[in-house]
Amino acid sequence: MSDTTIVTVSREDLAKMLDDAVSKAVTLVIESSHELWAASDLARHFGVSARTISEWVKQPGRLPPKQGRRWRRGEVLRWERERAAAGAGVGGA
């Protein structure tokens, strides 16, 4: 007796499954980055001024948690993705 199961999948469904798997893998790799970002990096990423980042820092919850005086890139990207999924904007907007 064999434990083999044969599944038939359309080419389009297989392509979508592969695209989804690759997208998830890339997201995991990017979010596992331990690269540290300064306020200027965060400002560039969000398309705002460094002064705006300084103002957001003063308001708890408007930015992802810091690691000392900087932010971990992976944490910023994860935080941003989670906020987007929840329908919240950057900077608590």
Mean local confidence (pLDDT), 70-88: 86
Verdict on whether the full-model pTM lies above 0.85: no
In contact, 29 and 21? CB cutoff 8 Å: no
Query: Token match 């460094």: residue?
Result: 50
In contact, 70 and 24? CB cutoff 8 Å: no
Q: How confident is the model at residue 34 (pLDDT cuts 50, 70, 90)?
A: confident
Which helix or strand (DSSP H or E) is residue 51 part of? Answer: helix 50-57
What is the radius of gyration, based on Cα positions, of the chain?
19
DSSP assignment letter at 66 = P
Q: Is pLDDT above 80 for 52?
A: yes
Q: Where are the domains of the chain?
A: 11-85
Residue 36 to residue 25: CA distance in whole angstroms: 21
